[in-house]
Amino acid sequence: MELIQQLVNGISLGSIYALIALGYTMVYGIVKLINFAHGDVFMVGAFIGFYSITILDLGFFPALLISMVACAIFGVLIERIAYKPLRNATRIAALITAIGVSLFIEYGTIYIRGAQPEAYPDGIVPLKTLEIFGVKISGQSILILGTSLILMILLQFIVHKTKIGKAMRAVSHDMDAARLMGINVNNTISATFAIGSALAGAAGVVFGVYYTKIEPLMGIIPGLKAFVAAVLGGIGIIPGAMTGGLLLGVIESLVSAAGYSLWRDGVAFVVLILILIFKPAGLFGKNIREKV
């Protein structure tokens, strides 16, 4: 039963990774950029949720919504100011800029409000602990799982059943062709950033509710891990990000449970190296050959 408990923990953690990973994968799929600042959008989302709950005295769902909307806007701002001008620049220039934006958000936050952590108040979610077959599932776990599931279903709907989703898929496939077909590529890209950032914001609020403690540098490690998750599933592939996130969360929890908790952060990177050596295109990915 301990194993199942860890699995539940793993899936909860994995859902958070998955939500963040989705943003990475969608952005990479559409503009081939590793958005290093994405983890920091997650952090900003956590803080906005915190302030909504404590200062504006709102409940979980309103806070979640506000955070998602704010992060969506934030993500689009970043894209328009820092990434759009570099769309035709070298990959390394775009990567460096993303690193710069990430550092800017992190240390800007510290500069404004200091580095001290905050704690999400208890009792936001009524703590109904379910017990199924001897496994305790906390109300918070259910919340994370439920929220993540709903958001992912929503995302799948958007991507496959709406016009903007179709545009996103078209632009990821072939930007120039999409443009020729009359798709507004700039707006599509912004929409992608918006959705990805909203999901990261949601992940931030959910993280705060589950793990309580939030601080300005909290986005770095989860951000990197979520990126690994995206690569694991196949970068640019949405079901890949979901699967990769869940898988990574589970592996991490199992490693921790097996007694190697000091190494848990290393797990993600070992997984990364293994995937890049054995199947760089990821679990769901296809090998794209360079035309000679």
Contact footprint for another protein (CB under 8 A): 32, 34, 82, 85-86, 89-97, 99-104, 106-108, 110-111, 115, 224, 227-228, 231, 262-263, 265-266, 269-270, 272-273, 276-277, 280, 289-290, 292
Least Å from the CB of residue 54 to another protein = 24
Least Å from the CB of residue 263 to another protein = 6
Nearer to another protein, 65 or 257 (CB): 257
Least Å from the CB of residue 189 to another protein = 17
| Angle between helix 163-173 and helix 185-211 axes, rounded to 10 deg | 110
Least Å from the CB of residue 246 to another protein = 20
Identify which of 62, 64, 47, 66 has the alpha carbon closest to the alpha carbon of residue 214: 47
The secondary structure element, H or E, covering residue 111 is: helix 91-113
Identify which of 257, 226, 243, 272 has the alpha carbon closest to the alpha carbon of residue 16: 226
Nearer to another protein, 64 or 228 (CB): 228
Least Å from the CB of residue 73 to another protein = 19
Least Å from the CB of residue 121 to another protein = 27
At 2, list the tokens. 């301990």
| Angle between helix 60-78 and helix 185-211 axes, rounded to 10 deg | 140
What is d(CA 196, CA 26) in angstroms, rounded to the nearest whole number?
A: 7
Nearer to another protein, 33 or 71 (CB): 33
Nearer to another protein, 276 or 283 (CB): 276
In degrees and rounded to multiples of 5, residue 65 shows phi and psi of: -65, -45
| Angle between helix 38-54 and helix 220-233 axes, rounded to 10 deg | 130
Nearer to another protein, 238 or 272 (CB): 272
Reported residue count of the chain is: 292
Nearer to another protein, 135 or 281 (CB): 281
What is d(CA 43, CA 217) in angstroms, rounded to the nearest whole number?
A: 8
Burial class of residue 201, CB neighbours in 10 A (0-12, 13-18, 19+): buried
